[in-house]
Structure 1
Amino acid sequence: MYPEPAGPPGAPVVVIWPAMGVKARYYRPFAAALRAAGLAVVVADLRGTGASTPAPSRADRYGYAELAGDVGAVLRALKPRLEGRTRLLLGHSLGGQAALLHLALDGSDAADGLALIAVGLPYWRNYPGLRGYGVLPYTQGIAATTALLRVWPGWGFGGRQARGVIRDWAYTARTGRFPRLDGMDTEAAVRAVRSPVLAVSVDDDQYTPHETMDNLCGRLAAAPVTRERYTSAQAGAPLDHFTWVRAATPLAQRIARFASGLPRR
């Protein structure tokens, strides 16, 4: 948790969920920019990453259902700080999927809004040009290796991950759909989410290009979606799936404007 921003008490609270294998501390520059824009900020590690221990082992089977459940657990732990305040879930990549799935499976009243930054279903057919023909064997190769080893060691991608996380991620890459979770039709649940969404894709994103975000937004049938792109010109710096975090002052200001327009509790 970061200190409260300057100004009147009770500022909206942003809870950030990181990308696969990315530690919460990586988001310090972004958190500082959000705080300067007038938002209270919390950054939570995904299960098994950073300060969330232990690291995934061969005994761990958890996947997307558990990651979505963790969002709820953190919100419950933060209840004293969140009480009566506008709350915004903000997810980057896998963290965005976890936040969205939490709203879909556990009720959208958990948050007043959702910001998705560089998030998308990595469905191989959504990648421009010939890229998808590389994405499919790449993602399924990681899944096959994980099934064999019973854990993903993090060889060049995503950090060390439980096999269920890789299984579910690879399913989305292969089929373009979220898997059923805890027996629920996840796709139908996502279509029913009603929380306002700010969906921002990032220039030169090597993992979730604009088209993958478009695909995800197309599933949000009931939610009011504001779809935007964060460009290198806006940032004043080159961008990709990760480096936007260090050039995010204009983006933080946009998120603050979005948060200020959310319904108040």
Structure 2
Amino acid sequence: MEAFEFKAADGFALQGRVYGNPATCRSAVLIAPAMGVPQRFYADFAEWLAGEGHAVVTFDYRGMGESRPAQMRHSLRGLEATIDTWAQQDASAALAWLDAQVAKEVPIHWLGHSLGGQIFGMVPNRERAASVVTIGVGTGYWLRNAAKARAYVWWLWFVAAPLAMKLYGYFPGKRLKKVGDLPLGVMQQWRRACLNRDYIIGVGGEKMRSDYAAVRTPILSLSFTDDEYMSARNTADMHAFYASAPREMRRIAPQDIGAKRIGHFGFFRERFADSLWPQVSRWLTLATAR
């Protein structure tokens, strides 16, 4: 693993890591993180995927993980960022860096966890990706969240988030032990999206809807029956926005692979290196051969 710094188009300095050997890789993979999840969470999976012959890049959105400015270690008040910023500036810059520095002659694949799969249609240079893998991706529309999550998200969207943002000028998720610290604009936009039947696309308007519908990149979706946030309806609704893209939808129950639990975050745990991870590697091999 090698750490590197790159810059978004607006000059914001971001931090990433590259795994594997770009000189010998057969393809390159960009891992786009979930909301509030630092890139280090994906390290075990990235190392494994690199061992399968892929160069893998992880990164942190601005304000998250290693891309959190030093002067904002204790508060994100004043950091201007929205989900649009993360997609159109940060993720786009990570994809451009991967294209220029690693994958000059090999295919690039986008692997998005939760938010990282939701935003693919918002990324301006998304056409560089030869395929997409989504892990635990659905809309965040709260009335279609998994049943067990609805009381929690009601409390989050109608009580905790509005009060915390008003008091602190950002969302202090670490203090509340919910999601993680998020910039004010990100949390405001995410809240609006989760209260909208059409999620981020409903908030973004007709241009965003047409951008998603125009995506033709093949998509593999892996979702899980015990995901504590995403219901089967969430997952189906989100991928329906990619109306022109070939989609292979796999919904996996823990018992299908001899596990007790997978959940929203479990896929990236090393214990699934022999069961779930090879599904991605096989998809990438087939997508690279196209």
Residue 50 (structure 1) aligned with residue 65 (structure 2): yes
Cα contact 2:20–2:47 (8 A) shared by 1: no
Bigger shift: 83-92 or 139-148?
A: 139-148
Aligned match of 2:230 = 208
Residue 253 (structure 1) aligned with residue 272 (structure 2): no
Report the CA distance shift for 1:42/1:248 in structure 2 as closer, same or farther (over 3 A).
farther
Aligned match of 1:4 = 21
Report the CA distance shift for 1:143/1:211 in structure 2 as closer, same or farther (over 3 A).
same
Indicate which of 58, 68, 82 corresponds to 2:87.
Answer: 68
The alignment of Structure 1 onto Structure 2 pairs a total of residues equal to 259
* In structure 1, C-alpha distance between the alignment counterparts of 2:257 and 2:21, rounded to whole Å: 25
The residue correspondences of 1:1-265 to structure 2 (distance < 5 A) are 1-4=18-21, 9-54=24-69, 55=72, 57-69=76-88, 70-78=90-98, 79-102=100-123, 106-129=124-147, 132=150, 134-148=152-166, 149-154=168-173, 155-176=176-197, 177-178=199-200, 180=203, 185-237=207-259, 238-246=261-269, 247-249=271-273, 250-262=275-287
Instruction: Find the residue that maps to 2:93 and give its secondary structure.
Output: helix
Gaps of 5+ in 2: 1-17
Q: TM-score, normalised by structure 1?
A: 0.87
* In structure 1, C-alpha distance between the alignment counterparts of 2:184 and 2:253, rounded to whole Å: 34
Report the CA distance shift for 1:44/1:234 in structure 2 as closer, same or farther (over 3 A).
farther
Matched residue type, 2:264 = H
Bigger shift: 199-208 or 141-150?
A: 141-150
Report the CA distance shift for 1:150/1:227 in structure 2 as closer, same or farther (over 3 A).
same
| Greater RCO (Cα-Cα under 8 Å, separation 6 or more) | 1
Q: TM-score, normalised by structure 2?
A: 0.80
Q: CA shift at 1:159, angstroms?
A: 0.8
Cα contact 1:45–1:51 (8 A) shared by 2: yes
How far does the alpha carbon of each residue in 1:119-178 deviate from its partner, in whole angstroms, 9 at most, with x for none? 111112223557546533422334313431320011221111001111121122101321
* In structure 2, C-alpha distance between the alignment counterparts of 1:248 and 1:139, rounded to whole Å: 33
Cα contact 2:214–2:242 (8 A) shared by 1: yes
Instruction: Find the residue that maps to 1:221 and give its secondary structure.
Output: coil
* In structure 2, C-alpha distance between the alignment counterparts of 1:86 and 1:248, rounded to whole Å: 25
Instruction: Find the residue that maps to 2:287 and give its secondary structure.
Output: coil
Gaps of 5+ in 1: none
Cα contact 2:55–2:102 (8 A) shared by 1: no
Report the CA distance shift for 1:235/1:45 in structure 2 as closer, same or farther (over 3 A).
farther
Q: Greater strand percent: which structure?
A: 2
Matched residue type, 1:112 = A
Bigger shift: 138-147 or 83-92?
A: 138-147
Identity, % of aligned pairs?
Answer: 29
Q: CA shift at 1:96, angstroms?
A: 2.1
Cα contact 2:92–2:125 (8 A) shared by 1: no
RMSD of aligned Cα (Å): 2.5
* In structure 1, C-alpha distance between the alignment counterparts of 2:122 and 2:44, rounded to whole Å: 26
Q: CA shift at 1:180, angstroms?
A: 4.8
